[in-house]
Amino acid sequence: MQSFPIKRILLAGVVGTLLFDLFGLMASTMMGNPTWWDIPALLAGKLGLPLFFGVLAHYLNGIVLAVIYAAVAPFLWGSKWARAFTYITAETVLGVWLFMAPLLGMGIAGVSGPMGAMFAIVSLVRHWVYAVALAAFIPVPAAAPQTNATASATA
């Protein structure tokens, strides 16, 4: 059984979330509306709490996503990069496009929100930027080569 490098997982969650936020600032600046901590502000507003608690919730979410990734990554296919991008793409589609965006009244993939279809693109790319930290910091064991005995047992 693999032990979890908790410090690296925490670092991946925090660094990934910071990269997510920096890309969000860059994207919003390019669209003419520079916004820092847009997600924490949204969370704080929905929770009726000060911005500090939105930031805390946002970064804790980034850490939780890293913990979940560390647990499921050994079962995903491909290199550490393919695993991180597969995981975060699935998380974005299922968690953001099909759950959070509709819950916030923006429709599937956020296309009914103020950004229109750009929301889907920007949210996916922001999450891919987050995935870079997962791949960089969380070690994933290589898949063991399948032997004839293993192949016979699974057939």
Task: Give the pLDDT confidence of 122-153 residue by residue, as tens digits.
Answer: 999 999 999 999 999 999 876 555 666 555 55
Task: Give the pLDDT confidence of 6-32 residue by residue, as tens digits.
Answer: 999 999 999 999 999 999 999 999 989
Cβ burial, residue 14 (10 Å; 0-12/13-18/19+):
middle
pTM: predicted TM-score of the whole model, two decimal places: 0.86
Cβ burial, residue 38 (10 Å; 0-12/13-18/19+):
middle
